[in-house]
């Protein structure tokens, strides 16, 4: 029984294939107005509304599938763009860091050529630690006695004086900044006339209550004006000398309070070196 059913199905399949081939051959050989073309047009016309209705019914499904595909594609593209932005940002940070370092090294090279610095053997180091409180303004550097750094050596950046060495080990040193409340630097005002032999002098120290602000105290030798620059005085009486050599740039005067009778001027200044970004 089962074999007879299989034979019938095979015979029917062969008959359908043969009929299809015959109809295709006749369709290609007859004219457009032939009976087969007429039947084809009629069937197409009859099923056209069904096809259109099915298309409309399935449109939301197609739209949903397209939306899902586009959403996943957009997410993938968004992830790629985020990765590209992060990579570009990282490269920008590296480039800015390199530019800043290059600028600092150029400034240091220019500073090293100053005669007051040329008397020393400059050692270039990096800040590797910083004091956690503004009242003790100290930084640690990565050069010490093995690099011939000694106690009380002056420390500068390409912009100017930042402090002096107060502790040394073989591989590092501690630098007390001029903004530290224990610091005091003898300074003089740069005269407008380069041939002048005298100019106002005083002591640069942090403002009481505001260690980020420097003041010039105990001013002697004349009055100072806003906008004038200060450098280390570098005094010596033959037996003892100041902690800093003469001629190191310190800062610029940004405020001068009028002195009353019997009082000295109160002078505030901004250091050339940025102590928060060494």
Residue 39 is assigned to a structural domain of this protein: no
pLDDT of 142:
93
Confidence of residue 34 (pLDDT cuts 50, 70, 90): low
pTM of the model: 0.59
Specify the pLDDT at position 37. Answer: 58
Pick from 206, 133, 126: which is nearest to 173 by CA? 126
The count of structural domains within the chain is: 1
What is the pLDDT at residue 161? 92
Angle, in degrees to the nearest 10, between helices 2-29 and 35-112: 90
Name the residue among 152, 97, 151 with its Cα closest to residue 126: 97
Backbone angles phi, psi at 235, to 5 degrees: -75, 160
Tell whether 17 is covered by a domain. no
- What are the pLDDT digits (tens) for 64-93? 777 777 787 777 777 778 777 777 777 776
Indicate whether 220 belongs to any domain: yes
- pLDDT recorded at residue 63: 72
Paired residues of 187 in beta bridges: 202, 232
| Exposed/middle/buried for residue 153 (C-beta within 10 Å: 0-12, 13-18, 19+) | middle
Q: Give the domain CATH number at 150.
A: 2.40.10.340
pLDDT in tens, 4-29: 676 777 777 777 777 777 666 666 66
For 157-196, what is each residue's pLDDT tens digit? 888 899 999 999 999 999 999 998 888 999 999 877 666 6
Asked if the structure places residue 192 within a domain, the reply is yes
Q: What are the tens digits of pLDDT across the range 35-73? A: 655 666 665 666 566 556 666 666 776 777 777 777 877
pLDDT in tens, 193-210: 666 667 888 899 988 777
Compute the Cα dihedral for 190, 193, 194, 196 and give only its sign: negative
DSSP-assigned beta bridge partners for residue 217: 203
Domain-located, residue 265: yes
pLDDT digits (tens, 9 = 90+) for 95-150: 666 666 666 666 666 666 666 666 678 888 889 998 877 666 899 999 999 999 99
Q: What is the pLDDT confidence band of residue 224, given thresholds at 50, 70 and 90?
A: confident
Tell me, what's the pLDDT at 77?
Answer: 77
In 104-200, DSSP assigns E strands to 127-130, 138-141, 154-156, 161-168, 173-177, 185-189
- pLDDT digit string (tens) for 226-241? 889 999 988 766 666 6
Domain contains 91: no
Question: Is residue 260 assigned to a domain?
Answer: yes
Please tell me the predicted confidence (pLDDT) of residue 139: 93
pLDDT at position 247 is: 86
- Domain containing 185 equals 125-278
Residue 76: per-residue pLDDT: 75
250 within domain boundaries: yes
């Amino acid at each position: 029984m089962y074999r007879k059913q299989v034979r019938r199905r095979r015979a029917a399949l062969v008959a359908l294939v043969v009929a299809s081939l015959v109809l295709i051959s006749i369709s290609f050989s007859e004219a457009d107005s032939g009976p087969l073309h007429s039947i084809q047009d009629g069937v197409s016309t009859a099923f056209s509304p069904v096809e259109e209705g099915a298309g409309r019914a399935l449109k939301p499904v197609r739209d949903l599938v397209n939306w899902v595909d586009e959403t996943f594609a957009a997410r993938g593209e968004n992830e790629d763009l985020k990765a590209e932005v992060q990579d570009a940002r990282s490269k920008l940070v590296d480039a800015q860091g390199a530019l800043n370092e290059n600028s600092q090294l150029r400034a240091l090279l220019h500073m090293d050529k100053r005669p007051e610095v040329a008397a020393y053997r400059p050692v270039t180091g990096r800040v590797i630690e910083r004091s956690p409180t503004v009242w003790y303004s100290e930084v640690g550097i990565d050069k010490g006695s093995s690099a011939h750094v000694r106690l009380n050596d002056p420390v500068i950046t390409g912009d100017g004086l930042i402090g002096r060495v107060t502790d040394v080990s073989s591989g590092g040193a501690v630098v007390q900044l001029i903004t530290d409340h224990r610091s005091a630097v003898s300074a003089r005002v740069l005269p407008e006339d380069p041939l002048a032999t005298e100019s106002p002098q005083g002591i640069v120290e942090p403002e009481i209550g505001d260690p980020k602000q420097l003041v010039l105290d105990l001013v002697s030798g004349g009055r100072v004006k806003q906008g004038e620059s200060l450098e280390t005085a570098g005094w010596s009486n033959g037996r003892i000398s100041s902690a800093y050599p003469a001629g190191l740039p310190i800062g610029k005067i940004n405020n001068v309070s009028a002195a009353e009778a019997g009082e000295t001027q109160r002078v505030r200044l901004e250091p050339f070196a940025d102590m928060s970004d060494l």
